[in-house]
């Protein structure tokens, strides 16, 4: 028996973009527009995840107004999904809709086409399945719409989807903020490596397909890294789920405002799904609360400004210029500790108390400022479960326990 090969894999946080000589003097000189398919152009390379706590009509409209593209989820009857897409198209804006691989995908794609969807997105947890490739070929042959397909995490997966007829391949198995696939199934590829592999394999195959990097983006820096790695656009779930336009009401708690968000393979979502691909035994997603972030235009405006700034460090006025001669530097664990607001850890919310673990030196608190934590995405939804829960979070070499 051959033993499995072992490869190295990197996530966004494992690298930084090496600055280059740059003639860009202002962020406003940077143009982030991209063509995902011949009839699918975006002025902002951000797409909204096909999740029922992320993309429905309001978010799709707000994102399209900023130049991005919302992908309306498929966890509702086809007519309702098509109606949501149609309401965006009626305003002269672009929205896409997702389809699965269960029976009925054809009728759903037809309804989306009738609603003038800007693209059909074949959206499957494991897009490198024979059944998914068959569905992609069928959709490519039947509908005259840009076709996005995923998700895959390897070069071969990307090439097979492109050969099956996808105009754009969605990359990401397991990096999502609400995803537990890597823990539950033990499968996946760290996202930066997955994107680099997909882009390289598509180029080697002379495939005319673009790439969306889906999942695991927690900041504008992550978007810049994905684009420099060769993705043409990113897909955001968690980062958009806290915006005013995301579905669901704002939950007001003593410690702040939140919106409910959930992974589409979470047990909570599975119980309600009308469009299941497979009987899912183990859940591969979680539900929780995401800090409320206000209007989408502000959130996305800040992300775009960060990406423009990132490109100015690479000397790129466009996405392809930013990639030209780009170098990623692998960050050592020691260097990682110096990243971000490394003066300390911020704790907010009066029900949270920091309990030092036995091995944490109390003098650390004396020498570091206590700064905000809960509002960053490194402490995710779990913190926001029930105030009575206690939660452990490790930050570098420190372990914090939050509890009542
Ligand atoms: P995020 O931007 O939140 O990090 O990632 C969003 C992506 O996570 C989605 O576009 C989708 O591909 C993926 N995703 C959403 N829900 C689930 C889930 O329940 N399980 C898994 N494995 N992935 C999910």
Do 306 and 358 belong together in one domain?
no
Residue 280 lies in a domain: no
Do 212 and 125 belong together in one domain?
yes
- Residues 189 and 192: their CA atoms lie apart, in Å, by 8
Transcribe 182-241 into DSSP letters: HHHT-----HHHHHHHHHHHHHHTT---EEEEES---SHHHHHHHHHTT-SEEEESHHHH
User: Which residues approach ligand 1 with their CB closer than 6 A?
Assistant: 49, 51, 125, 151, 172, 174, 176-179, 181, 214-217, 235-239, 263-266, 284-285
Residue 276 tokens, joined:
């299941």
Residue 385 lies in a domain: yes
Do 232 and 98 belong together in one domain?
yes
**Rounded to the nearest whole angstrom, what is the distance from the C-alpha of residue 263 to the centroid of ligand 1?**
6
Residue 342 tokens, joined:
């490394």
Do 342 and 217 belong together in one domain?
no
Which residue range forms the structural domain that includes residue 117?
12-248+293-328
pLDDT at 383: 34
pLDDT at 221 over 50: yes
Do 74 and 175 belong together in one domain?
yes
Do 154 and 16 belong together in one domain?
yes
* Protein residue with its CA nearest to atom 22 in ligand 1: 179
Do 127 and 143 belong together in one domain?
yes
CATH number at 164 reads 3.20.20.70
**Rounded to the nearest whole angstrom, what is the distance from the C-alpha of residue 360 to the centroid of ligand 1?**
34
Residue 307 lies in a domain: yes
Ligand 1 atom nearest residue 239's Cα: 2
**Ligand 1 pocket test target in 189, 237, 270 with most atoms within 8 Å of CB:** 237
pLDDT at 129 over 60: yes
Reply yes or no on whether 384 is catalytic: no
- Which of 328, 351, 372 is at the close of a domain? 328
pLDDT at 181: 86
**Ligand 1 pocket test target in 54, 263, 276 with most atoms within 8 Å of CB:** 263
* Residue from 55, 57, 181, 243 carrying the catalytic annotation: 181
Do 228 and 196 belong together in one domain?
yes
Asked if omega into 392 is within 30° of 0 (cis), the reply is no
Ligand 1 atom nearest residue 240's Cα: 2
* Number of domains within the chain: 2
Any alpha helices (H) in 205-347, and if so which ranges? 220-228, 238-241, 267-272, 296-314, 319-323, 333-336
- Which of 305, 328, 351 is at the close of a domain? 328
Burial group, residue 201, by CB count within 10 angstroms (0-12, 13-18, 19+): buried
Residue 216 lies in a domain: yes
Residue 271 lies in a domain: no
> How do residues 40-92 score in pLDDT, each as one tens digit?
999 999 999 999 999 999 999 999 999 999 999 999 999 999 999 999 999 99
pLDDT band at 345 (very low <50, low <70, confident <90, very high): very low
Residue 153 lies in a domain: yes
What is the CA 129 to chain-centroid distance, rounded? 21
pLDDT at 168: 98
> How do residues 362-388 score in pLDDT, each as one tens digit?
444 443 333 323 333 333 323 333 334
* Residue from 179, 193, 290, 384 carrying the catalytic annotation: 179
Residue 262 lies in a domain: no
- Which of 276, 302, 328 is at the close of a domain? 328
pTM (2 decimals)? Answer: 0.85
Ligand 1 atom nearest residue 180's Cα: 22
């Amino acid at each position: 028996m051959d033993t499995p090969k072992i490869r190295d894999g990197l996530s966004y946080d494992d690298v930084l973009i090496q600055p280059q000589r740059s003639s860009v003097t202002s962020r406003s000189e940077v143009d982030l527009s991209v063509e995902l398919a011949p009839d699918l152009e975006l002025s902002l390379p951000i797409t909204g995840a096909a999740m029922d706590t992320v993309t429905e009509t309001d978010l799709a409209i707000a994102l399209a107004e900023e130049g991005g593209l919302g992908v309306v989820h498929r966890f509702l009857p086809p007519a309702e999904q098509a109606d949501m897409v149609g309401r965006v198209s009626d305003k002269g804006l672009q929205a896409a809709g997702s389809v699965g691989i269960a029976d009925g995908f054809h009728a759903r794609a037809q309804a989306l086409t009738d609603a003038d969807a800007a693209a059909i997105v074949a959206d499957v947890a494991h897009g490198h399945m024979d059944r998914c490739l068959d569905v992609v070929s069928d959709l490519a042959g039947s509908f005259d719409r840009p076709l996005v397909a995923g998700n895959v995490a390897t070069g071969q997966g990307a090439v097979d989807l492109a050969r099956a007829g996808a105009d754009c391949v969605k990359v990401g198995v397991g990096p999502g903020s609400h995803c537990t696939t890597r823990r539950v199934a033990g499968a996946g590829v760290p996202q930066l490596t997955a994107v680099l592999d997909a882009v390289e394999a598509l180029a080697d195959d002379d495939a005319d397909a673009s790439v969306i990097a889906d999942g695991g983006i927690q900041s504008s820096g992550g978007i810049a890294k994905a684009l420099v790695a060769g993705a043409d656009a990113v897909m955001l779930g968690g980062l958009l789920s806290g915006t005013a336009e995301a579905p669901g009401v704002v939950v007001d708690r003593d410690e702040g405002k939140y919106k409910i968000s959930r992974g589409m393979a979470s047990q909570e979502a599975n119980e309600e799904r009308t469009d299941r691909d497979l009987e899912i035994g183990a859940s591969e997603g979680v539900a929780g609360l995401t800090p409320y972030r206000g209007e989408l235009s502000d959130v996305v405006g800040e992300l775009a400004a960060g990406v423009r700034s990132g490109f100015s460090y690479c000397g790129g006025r466009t996405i392809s210029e930013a990639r030209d001669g780009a170098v990623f530097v692998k960050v050592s664990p020691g260097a990682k500790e110096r990243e971000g607001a490394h003066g300390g850890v911020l704790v907010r919310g009066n029900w949270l108390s920091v309990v030092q673990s036995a091995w944490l030196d109390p003098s650390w608190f004396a020498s570091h400022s206590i700064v905000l934590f809960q509002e960053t995405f490194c402490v995710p939804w779990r913190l926001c479960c029930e105030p009575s829960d206690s939660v452990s979070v490790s930050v570098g070499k420190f372990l914090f326990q939050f509890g009542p």
